[in-house]
Amino acid sequence: MMLLWLDSMRSYHTRWQWYPFTLVTGPTEFLKQDVQELNDPVVRTVTRRPLYVIAHRVLTIHGVKAALSQGANALEIDVTPWPSGWWADHDGSATSAGDTVEKMFQAIAEQRRAGENVIFVWLDIKSPNWCDPRQPKTRHCSVIALQEQARRILEPADVRVLYGFYGGAASGVGYDFICDDLDENEAINLNGEALQLEERFESSGISDLKQRVMSYGDNDLSLDFGNCYEAGYYTCTELRQASRSKMFGQVYGWTLAAGQKKYSDLLLGDAHVDGIIYGFRGTIFHDHKDTRAAFQDIKNWVDEHPKRRYLATAKDSPW
């Protein structure tokens, strides 16, 4: 086992990615592909494809209702283990937590049963190894407990779950457990550059491409966004190459904020992403003219290209 520390070497901002991987004697099928081939125009079927519009950093029940009322069809929730259990929490500080994960799941399930169009919940898991599932005293705040809550509350309501592991979180007992115990309602998300992520999914034993979800972006989407046709590294290019590779079931870009219509247009028209996270860059989701504006930029593109995309509904299965 070797450890790979990926330094993106940005001139004024660095995107750090850390992933363990197993050294292989030869390149994977995706790694054999020529970069130029990945930069060729993306060939897509003429069939209309569903688009997942994912509300960013939803940490409260109020945020759940606000996102769904705007038209979001999926929710990204940062989840952090505390001694008392799992909370919707991005920072893990004394005042950063929103509602408990159990209350969030219950509210989402209730909304789905009431007819709201919520397709999946994306759990951005912080500190997945903080509580050891093998120890009875800490099992309640382990990833096993998180998955059990999701299966007990969300799955019966037909809400799917995406387990997200960012950087160094994609290793250890928590990550390994989720990878080894996915059901058809669940998928794994890794964030980073396409070439490395394909190998990481392979070494993690995620053989079903439908359950591999690649994401790339930044809270400031404009940062090194690129023109979608560089050799690599830039946000739009990495997403475009991931879509082109056909080695991932879903490809998502993040985070679209108000006033960024040009990036929305490029993500949809050139990178051909399957979903976009939208909302505020650095605060919890709530109803506001800026979150509504970001959603509207996505919807406007879809409305202008009705033969190519439509907003996904609960009848669509992302994996």
Instruction: Name, in order, each residue with C-beta under 8 angstroms of 264's C-beta and a sequence gap of 6 or more.
Output: 256, 276, 294, 297, 298, 301
173: part of which helix (H) or strand (E)? helix 173-180
pLDDT in tens, 254-296: 999 999 999 999 999 999 999 999 999 999 999 999 999 999 9
Structure tokens at 306: 């009705």
CA distances from 43 to 32, 242, 249 (A): 19, 13, 16
Please identify which of the residues 56, 90, 272, 286 carries the catalytic annotation: 56
Question: Is 225:262 a contact under the CB 8 Å cutoff?
Answer: no
pLDDT in tens, 8-47: 333 334 444 444 444 333 334 444 444 455 555 444 455 8
Which pTM was predicted?
A: 0.87
* Nearest CA-CA partner of 313 in 67, 45, 53: 53
Q: How high is the pLDDT of residue 118?
A: 99
Question: Is 200:19 a contact under the CB 8 Å cutoff?
Answer: yes
pLDDT in tens, 41-100: 444 455 899 999 999 999 999 999 999 999 999 999 999 999 999 999 999 998 999 999
Neighbours of 272 (CB within 10 A): 20
Structure tokens at 218: 């930044």
Is 288 in the active site?
Answer: no
Dihedral class, residue 183 (left if φ above 0, else alpha if ψ from -120 to 50, else beta) = beta
Could you state, in order of their start, the residue ranges of all structural domains in the chain? 55-311
CATH class of 55-311: alpha beta
Question: Is 256:53 a contact under the CB 8 Å cutoff?
Answer: no
Cα–Cα distance, 20 to 31 (Å, whole number)? 17
Structure tokens at 92: 């893990």
Q: Tell me which DSSP letter residue 166 carries.
A: -
